[in-house]
Amino acid sequence: MKALFTVTGRGMGGDAITALNIASALEKRGFECEFALDHSAPGILLKKRGIDWHRVRIPQAGGHAASRLKLLKAAFRTLRAVYETGRLIRKIKPDVVVGVIGGGAVVGCLAAKITGVPAVGVLITPTDARVCTRLNRNVALPESSLFGENVEGVESVYSPISPDITLGDPERAIQRMPHEFDPEKPTIVFSSGSSLFRMMAEAAVKMAESDVSANITVVGHPLREEYGQMVDRDGIINLGYIDWVSDLYSLADLAVLSDDGVMVHEAIAMRVPVVALRGVKYGRYHNMGAVFRGAVLETDLDGIEGAILRALEASDDMKRAAEAYSGDVIGAADRIAEIIEEEAGKSVP
């Protein structure tokens, strides 16, 4: 069996990680997996794994933050993208197409429908929810408005992570740390994913200027040069873009994360208490505190210091709460792979 993944984004963040983690679970079931990214995507995560990919048009409309104008422009680009992806499907003849998030889900599912190939959509945005639910079976991740809802043909599943995240080694993390790291202090990880957004940088600076005694550690490549300059200062350990998150999480006492995405799930799997900073990415809000009750504490930027102090104080209780979710989070990729396997090879009406 062969699966084609059409993936939104640049191939270096949570969208690509989602696709790769599902593919890994599928490969254990005997599937051959191929990937298609947008022509402009650098595909860093795939390159690091030695994976080649196909290049097609996969328009982005801004996800949850999309305006009507952006959606309209994306719709016109989508027509050409669907045609191009349809040609790819006819060429490589997959048994199933997996459309991953936003434009990747919409283009993949539409092209699969037109070419008569079964598909599964992995959904988080309003646009992919509107389009893909009319076409094929889908999986709603926690960021989706469909998560937890009773919608025919849609199953709610936690974001897929690699089970290898649990194999982190704190000693390896310590060896990679710069000289200012103090193993006697608690370690707080600040991250908005593969990219460092302004609000996350501001949160790290606020904590560095506070009376909290901790290793303030920042992860992610700055979206703008000025964000990197903000965290290149005394009191902050700026690690930049790293590929050893599992080791870092094994060392962390607390993670301050944007209110979305794979990193929250990875932290939960590692039983790391989470403070979710609201509105980091274009004002988005995904209510992770309700998804992982007791394990995630939400706050805005103004309340970051108080939230971190409360989380550190309640650390043991938050770890126990995370442990209750950990098994389902670790098993999410395999459940999604099972759904894809069920759809592969079916006839499309």
Set out the domains of the chain in order of their start, with CATH numbers: 2-158+331-343 (3.40.50.2000), 164-330 (3.40.50.2000)
Q: Mind listing the pLDDT tens digit for each residue in 78-118?
A: 888 999 999 999 999 999 999 999 999 999 999 999 999 99
What is the number of helices (H) and of strands (E) in the chain? 14, 13
Token code pair at residue 224: 């703008």
Residue 77: count of CB within 10 angstroms of its CB: 16
**Tokens encoding 292:** 């992982």
* pLDDT above 60: residue 74: yes
Q: What contacts 255, CB < 8 A, 6 or more positions away?
A: 188, 189, 191, 249, 263, 267, 272, 273, 274, 275
How far out from the chain centre does Cα 193 lie? 8
- Comparing 281 with 138, which gets the higher pLDDT? 138
Tell me what the pLDDT averaged over the chain comes to: 92
User: Where is pLDDT greater, at 136 or 66?
Assistant: 136
The string of pLDDT tens digits covering residues 216-236 is 999 999 999 999 999 999 999
Query: What is the distance between the alpha carbons of residues 216 and 207, in angstroms, rounded to a whole number?
Result: 7
Three-state secondary structure call for residue 194: strand
